[in-house]
A and B are shown apart, each in its own frame.
Chain A
Amino acid sequence: MVEILYFAWLRDRLGRSRETFVLPRDGGLSVRDIMDGLRRRGAAYEEIFAEGGGPIRCAVNQEFAALDSPVRAGDELAFFPPVTGG
């Protein structure tokens, strides 16, 4: 199982800040695979995770990650817009 976190407008749009994602028993998914899986959870997901649906960044275990980064059971995967602090 993977813990998924959402921040900023992604959280507003989805109406939740976290949820879980169950990995297939044979494991071995990438961030992109999980985005494809999430897209099936509803219209808001489809919009957000569509190709060109808006600039989204991600982090695996609190490290910036790429779409092809691997995700394993127990990982924390976060989706958020490009950062705007400072």
Chain B
Amino acid sequence: MLVDIRVQEETFSLDAEIARLAATGFDVGGIGAFIGLVRGDAGLAALALEHYPGMTESMIARIVAQAGTRFDLLACTVIHRVGRLPVGAPIVLVLCAAAHRGAALEATGFVIDWLKTQAPFWKREDYPDGQARWVAARESDEAAAARWDAGDPSEA
């Protein structure tokens, strides 16, 4: 499996990333994609994202490795942005390439669900009046990850 994991401030190009996966030479039949955006809740101006360098990359690598085995992936790209991102900006990209659509789509859900609960990123909401608030974790995210019964990547 071809794995590409990046944590960066710059944005990303969906076209360019899909083209890279399509050109791998593997027999890719489908690519599942998830793109997370900054949602403009309640007058939000921007999100500031920080992470734990080193641990972030290793946790994402573990999640991707597990998805690769479970869904027989050919390639997987995860790009997660950090820094200050305005409302509407893309935050995260997950692309999972497989021979068939079922595996590609399921793997994409698996990776983003586990990323949300296992990768050490934190979001701060910045408002136009200068107020800032750290986002609290949601139980629904834990539940979303837990539905992938077999595998907590942190226990792999």
Interface presence of B2 (CB below 8 A)? no
A83 adjacent to B134 (CB under 8 Å): no
B55 adjacent to A84 (CB under 8 Å): no
Contact residues in A for B137 (Cβ distance below 8 Å): 55, 81-84
Of A5, A12, A82, A84, the residue contacting B52 (CB under 8 A) is A5
Interface presence of B4 (CB below 8 A)? no
Total A residues in contact with B, Cβ cutoff 8 Å: 18
Chain A, Cβ-Cβ closest to B55? A62
B121 adjacent to A83 (CB under 8 Å): yes
**With A78-B52, A78-B55, A80-B52 in contact, is A86–B115 under 8 Å at CB?**
yes
A84 adjacent to B135 (CB under 8 Å): yes
Interface presence of A7 (CB below 8 A)? yes
Interface presence of B151 (CB below 8 A)? no
B119 adjacent to A83 (CB under 8 Å): yes
Tell which of B55, B121, B134 has the most Cβ of chain A within 10 Å.
Answer: B55
Interface presence of A64 (CB below 8 A)? yes
A62 adjacent to B52 (CB under 8 Å): yes
Contact residues in A for B50 (Cβ distance below 8 Å): 7-8
Cα(A62)–Cα(B54), bound, Å: 7
Interface residues of A in 57-86 (CB under 8 A from B): 59, 62-64, 78, 80-86
Contact residues in A for B123 (Cβ distance below 8 Å): 84-85
What's the minimum C-beta distance from A82 to chain B, rounded to whole angstroms?
A: 3
Contact residues in B for A83 (Cβ distance below 8 Å): 116-122, 137
13 interchain pairs, CB-CB under 8 A: A8-B134, A62-B52, A62-B54, A81-B137, A82-B136, A83-B118, A84-B134, A84-B135, A85-B51, A85-B116, A85-B121, A85-B123, A86-B91
8 additional contacts (CB under 8 A) given A85-B80, A85-B121: A7-B52, A78-B55, A84-B134, A84-B135, A85-B92, A85-B115, A85-B120, A86-B80
Instruction: Identify the B interface with A (CB < 8 A).
Output: 36, 49-52, 54-55, 58, 80, 91-92, 112, 115-124, 134-137, 141, 154
Instruction: Identify the A interface with B (CB < 8 A).
Output: 5, 7-9, 12, 55, 59, 62-64, 78, 80-86
